[in-house]
Amino acid sequence: MKDVYEYAVIRVIPRVERGELINAGVLLYCQPRGYLCARVELDEARLRALDTAVDLDGVRHALGAYQRSCDSESGPLTKEPLGSRFRWLTAPRSTIVQTGPVHAGLTADPETELEHLVTRLVRSP
């Protein structure tokens, strides 16, 4: 049986005024299965190609915040329901690290779907 899931690509836009970006992760939420996870894979060489002066430590920390926010045991949003966390994480921001639009799909296995999305949308071909 397949359930509805929602996902958003986590993007890094080192110079917001230029609008250039790289995809650095995927955030996936599947309410029927109680699943919320962020998978991050930062390609530092691609990011440096957009901005040689980018603050890599700051970007890594911001990307890690997405992962920590999904952690139901120790993250900063532990008291919030998963759906609220997902909505908070996908809310529009004007910072260097932000998410793209939310998309939906059907899956029988959210973890496998997340891996598929990361391969397709984040990793270099």
Res. 64: pLDDT tops 70: yes
Burial of 102 from C-beta contacts in 10 A (0-12 / 13-18 / 19+):
middle
Please count the structural domains in the chain.
1
State the pLDDT confidence band at 72, using cuts at 50, 70 and 90.
low
pLDDT tens per residue, range 87-102: 999 998 878 999 999 9
As a whole number, mean pLDDT of residues 33-47 equals 96
State the pLDDT confidence band at 106, using cuts at 50, 70 and 90.
very high
Q: Which residues 6+ apart lie within 8 Å of 50 measured at CB?
A: 14, 15, 18, 20, 21, 22
SS3 category, 12: strand
Q: What is the pLDDT of residue 75?
A: 63
Res. 41: pLDDT tops 90: yes
Q: Which residues 6+ apart lie within 8 Å of 116 measured at CB?
A: none
Q: What is the pLDDT of residue 94?
A: 79
Residue 116: domain span = 3-121
Res. 76: pLDDT tops 80: no
